[in-house]
Structure 1
């Protein structure tokens, strides 16, 4: 057995991940509950065994070398695979996943997502005869909000088991299934005090290009990020989420296209003004996709899936739930989940 295999333990890979995330040996030592000298010694042991330099220490910070970055990337992938193996083993024994990862596009209804979580925990408690939220079931939900291609990337790279709000026109790699979620209509909106609020209609691209746009950054790290509805040479304010984008447009910091269900409450209240534009605006088709065994049956067959993922897919088969995820952004009466 090689020396590299002996030192590339889950503990060593986790140590690399923590150092990279915290940015220094001292901060990583605190996060791991170690003294800095012990952590430094462990890193040197790892470097000696691999015969490479993992960190450039000249700056006084933990800066990764090219070799260190490669080990970090591959180490994170290996840790995800180890977690997935443990999850599959437990699922074989009990039918329930240890953890279920779900990526959610940022335009989905947060109240509806949380109601689904609440219903999931209640269903788990009912099956085990316990009280909701009392830890009677050990499937942990791990939700993450993504933007544009980032939602799809989280699924195809194995970071999550289910992605809700992906583009529905994708070529599917082996082991990925996709169903239609619905479509979202976008509107061009500005604050009442924005110069375009008084512009002649419909507004041309030439006129739009003269004004700053507010755009949400694609969260994809490996796939090619998507850019939507931005014009060449247009000034852009880039933000992290659709909600921040809307907040920026409410302040008149820029203009842009926003999902009509999210903007509706602001348009009705007069805080945003929807303006017709010359370019054709088509509804955006969205879907939900999940990781399934390549040996599974036809689409709709949930055989081979864990019980937690199966539960979520059953909820998404309800037209009411799908519509609520895309349109219910206010505070109406509680949604009845199928």
Structure 2
């Protein structure tokens, strides 16, 4: 029988890379982990470990258990938190996914105020981008997403609050060839230019990029900080939050480029699952809903 213990054990071995590394990280002998896995192999009638050169690694069957078991572990963790929230009113932990477009400083300011009221609540924070932010919520990896880009997925069983809309400013290095045009850029100019784009972190849903065209070349990055650095270096063009772009323009590191048609604003949302009811989450939602979450530089 596949148990939660087995899923956690196999995922620990997979994440460590090898059986010996997993044993070292857990402070156990490799033989102790092997013995645990052997018991499950006998029970299930399948092989979970196999030699790989001088090391021992997981079989395809074991890797499949790891992959499919991730959702099971997330569901169990979510169920535990819900049960404790019902029983005590306050959940033991709250997991957040923050979109890369959101100010980390602003998030931490909210977190600081929250922990002053709920010091016993454990917070787990991860960063996601675009559709990956929604994935984290709908797969129950997190309880709250901050700065998710509208619209919400259809039939997702989530509630949302608007955080506001923000424009996007096209900003490029003063040394970039398009900065020397002195005129509005055409669609052909945009298609020919290299763009710096924050990569959608989704591994499940169709990816989004929010670009006005299909460029011939892109540089994919995983954070707003990396995107800004690439654009300052003149590696490509791209949209930035208005406060960031204006700050860099004032410093002479970027110039703002006007387009024939203004790109649509993006709407940022707070979102959580409809089955969430803990007091801590409710308070955190209230705090984030009144915060200014756009980055400042």
Aligned CA-pair RMSD:
2.2
Q: Tell me if the contact between 1:23 and 1:61 (Cα under 8 Å) persists in the aligned partners.
A: no
**What runs of 5+ residues in structure 1 fail to find an aligned partner?**
125-136, 294-303, 331-338
> Which position in structure 2 is the counterpart of 1:28?
22
TM superposition score normalised by structure 2: 0.91
Q: Is structure 2 residue 275 aligned with structure 1 residue 307? A: no
- Give a deviation string over 1:189-227, Cα, whole Å, max 9, x none: 111111111124211222233332211111112222223
Q: Tell me if the contact between 2:194 and 2:216 (Cα under 8 Å) persists in the aligned partners.
A: yes
Given candidates 129, 140, 162, the residue that maps to 1:147 is 129
What is the alpha-carbon distance in structure 1 between the residues aligned to residue 258 and residue 159 of structure 2?
37
Q: How many residues align?
A: 297
Q: Tell me if the contact between 1:177 and 1:291 (Cα under 8 Å) persists in the aligned partners.
A: yes
> Which position in structure 2 is the counterpart of 1:260?
242
- Give a deviation string over 1:97-121, Cα, whole Å, max 9, x none: 0100111111112221111111111
Q: Tell me if the contact between 1:168 and 1:178 (Cα under 8 Å) persists in the aligned partners.
A: no
What is the alpha-carbon distance in structure 2 between the residues aligned to residue 201 and residue 47 of structure 1?
69
Q: Is structure 2 residue 256 aligned with structure 1 residue 274? A: yes
TM superposition score normalised by structure 1: 0.81
Q: Tell me if the contact between 1:183 and 1:284 (Cα under 8 Å) persists in the aligned partners.
A: yes
Alignment of 1:51-90 (within 5 A): 51-55=45-49, 57-58=51-52, 64-90=58-84
Q: Tell me if the contact between 1:205 and 1:279 (Cα under 8 Å) persists in the aligned partners.
A: no
- Give a deviation string over 1:215-258, Cα, whole Å, max 9, x none: 11111122222233175461221111111011111111211122
Deviates more, 1:51-60 or 1:265-274: 51-60
What is the alpha-carbon distance in structure 1 between the residues aligned to residue 230 and residue 55 of structure 2?
35
Cα distance change of structure 1 residues 233 and 122 upon mapping to structure 2, 3 Å threshold: closer
Please report how far the alpha carbon of residue 173 of structure 1 lies from its aligned counterpart in structure 2 after TM superposition: 2.9
> Which position in structure 2 is the counterpart of 1:113?
107
Please report how far the alpha carbon of residue 325 of structure 1 lies from its aligned counterpart in structure 2 after TM superposition: 0.8
Which structure is higher in RCO with an 8 Å CA cutoff and minimum separation 6? 2
> Which position in structure 1 is the counterpart of 2:296?
329
Deviates more, 1:112-121 or 1:271-280: 271-280
Please report how far the alpha carbon of residue 160 of structure 1 lies from its aligned counterpart in structure 2 after TM superposition: 0.9
Deviates more, 1:138-147 or 1:231-240: 231-240
Q: Is structure 2 residue 101 aligned with structure 1 residue 101? A: no
**What runs of 5+ residues in structure 2 fail to find an aligned partner?**
none
Cα distance change of structure 1 residues 123 and 10 upon mapping to structure 2, 3 Å threshold: same
Cα distance change of structure 1 residues 76 and 61 upon mapping to structure 2, 3 Å threshold: farther
